[in-house]
Amino acid sequence: MKSKMVINRREFLAFTGVAAMNAMFSRGAEQTTAADTGRLPLLPVRECYCPAHFGNAYEAMWPLEMKAYLAEMKRWGFNRYGDWITTTDVCNPYTTDAYWALAAEQLQRKKKAFHAAQDLGLALNLIVTPNHVYLDQLRPHYAAKKGKRIQGQLICPSHPEARKLILENFERWFRDFAESDIKLSAFTAFAYDYGGCDCDKCRPWIITFAKLMKEIHAIGLKYHPNIEPWFCSWWWVPEEHKLINEWAASEAKGWLKAMTLHIEYGQTKFKDVAVPDGCRKLAFVHIGYSDESKANDIYAKWGPVVASKRMPRTLIDIAAQGADGFQAYSEGIFDDINKALLAGLSNGRFKNADDVLREYSKHYFNASEEQSVQWARWMAEWGDRRKPKLPEAEKEFEKLSASVKSTWRLEHWRSKLALESLDRQIGQPKPDTWTPEKLKLADEFWVQQEHLQRDIYRLGPVRHVFTPKFRPPDWYNSWQKAVKSAPKQQVLPAQT
């Protein structure tokens, strides 16, 4: 058994590419089991996927702020960083005559974040959805056929004109990154959720997707000699895994280097599916919700999320399933504690979640040894936001935070307490039982939620999972019927 110090040093030397890591690690060395050392499994691939999109914190952050945040991610133990090449809601930045266009600003910020991550020694992964294109590249004659799982600004890669455009987009991105001295070690391609085409020529889509990505990989190699092809199985069905395995065995032996396998809500294991020969298994770990998926504590709606039970359990389970690591799926800074837990436990620095939370409070709240014990216990209780007793939890927070400098890491906790208190006072009134007092509490809830999003997380216009219409409080529908002036949840404006 190699010592932790040796493993970490080797890892440091090797984390510029999975192939390099493969050569340096034996499976026995990289996956020390809890039984061996009393610690959680050490996993060599510890990536944080931080898509800067939909108005989330990564999109909102300015470059120096992002650079500082990436340094904290590295500090906790991540060794890889990923971002999505966003084309949603924007026009092609490479053909615009306005250097100030939104797409150009977004792309510039992404490149700066990649550069900052690279400077910190993190390996870089570009997340891609191949047939999702810029708004001004859409044309009716080569539009993709949409369907279940297939959404977004999509074109059909079986149409020669559309395929040419897709390949040109990738050539341009890969060239731009290379010219900016950004060295990509992998791409991870998603087939669905902003991808797909259900036309006769593209069926089965998963094979069309794989062949397209193989062509794209050849382009990537021209600019990034070490770039590895990885897939994420987000929204795949078992039949598609089977098709990909058959295709890989006959047409692409040894080509696919990693498969990131999706873990469903409330689960700590991925589905046990076979992957092509030579392909490593990774887990796609959703860190944007708490321990308890049923608590609706997700995507920054209720402030910080904590999963001090789910994160360690996930690491133990995925290591037992043969995973070499994970891509943590992060939608912003509200999951800061889950980042510390996942990275801190899987790089061997901490032996359990309590140790991570204690260090978190010492580092960010200047807690003493004794206070750190109290902070750790207090934070862990919020793994299920329905559980902590109020007002006792509020009083303890006031005591613990009394001399702590006000930062977003502290203030989002204060906001969580306020939102939880208001939510419990409101309860579950029926549409005709909302009293003036309860309506006032709902108004206060919206004020508090705006304070959280705007003053603490400093977000601007938000889209997708961050809009108030997505995953609202449980009383929302009843309240909407009572007040009538508010929009229904998850509806489009009148389409006329």
- The residues of the shown chain that bind Zn ion, judged by CB under 5 A, are 156, 158, 197, 199, 202
Q: Which helix (H) or strand (E) holds 24?
A: helix 18-24
Q: How far, rounded to the nearest angstrom, does the alpha carbon of residue 409 sit from its chain's CA centroid? A: 19
Q: Is the peptide bond before 391 cis (omega within 30 degrees of 0)?
A: yes
Q: Is the peptide bond before 204 cis (omega within 30 degrees of 0)?
A: yes
* CB 212, min distance to Zn ion, A: 11
CB nearer to Zn ion: pick between 192 and 299: 192
How far, in Å, are 39, 292, 357, 380, 388 from residue 308 at the CA level?
15, 11, 8, 6, 15
CB nearer to Zn ion: pick between 195 and 383: 195
CB nearer to Zn ion: pick between 75 and 146: 146
* CB 142, min distance to Zn ion, A: 9
CB nearer to Zn ion: pick between 73 and 133: 133
* CB 137, min distance to Zn ion, A: 15
Check: CB of residue 121 under 8 Å from CB of residue 138. Answer: no
* CB 202, min distance to Zn ion, A: 3
At CA 286, angle to CA 11 and CA 71, rounded to 5? 45
How far is it, in rounded angstroms, from Cα 74 to Cα 76? Answer: 5
CB nearer to Zn ion: pick between 162 and 333: 162
* CB 201, min distance to Zn ion, A: 5
CB nearer to Zn ion: pick between 240 and 359: 240
Amino acid at position 399, single letter: K
The Cβ-side half-sphere exposure at 469, using a 13 Å CA radius, reads: 11
CB nearer to Zn ion: pick between 24 and 143: 143
User: If we measure between CA atoms, which residue out of 182, 100, 95, 99 comes closest to residue 133?
Assistant: 95
CB nearer to Zn ion: pick between 143 and 439: 143
Residue where the block lists tokens 């978190």: 360
Question: What is the 3-state composition of the chain as percent helix, strand, coil, each rounded to the nearest 5?
Answer: 50, 10, 40
How far is it, in rounded angstroms, from Cα 345 to Cα 355? Answer: 9
CB nearer to Zn ion: pick between 79 and 131: 131
* CB 220, min distance to Zn ion, A: 23
Structure tokens at 275: 């992957």
How far is it, in rounded angstroms, from Cα 408 to Cα 423? Answer: 22
Structure tokens at 426: 């409101």
What DSSP assignment string belongs to 167-211? Answer: HHHHHHHHHHHHHTT----EEEEESSSS----STTT-SHHHHHHH
CB nearer to Zn ion: pick between 202 and 216: 202
* CB 167, min distance to Zn ion, A: 15
* CB 172, min distance to Zn ion, A: 22
Residue 6 dihedral angles phi and psi, to the nearest 5° = -65, -45
* CB 143, min distance to Zn ion, A: 9
* CB 208, min distance to Zn ion, A: 7
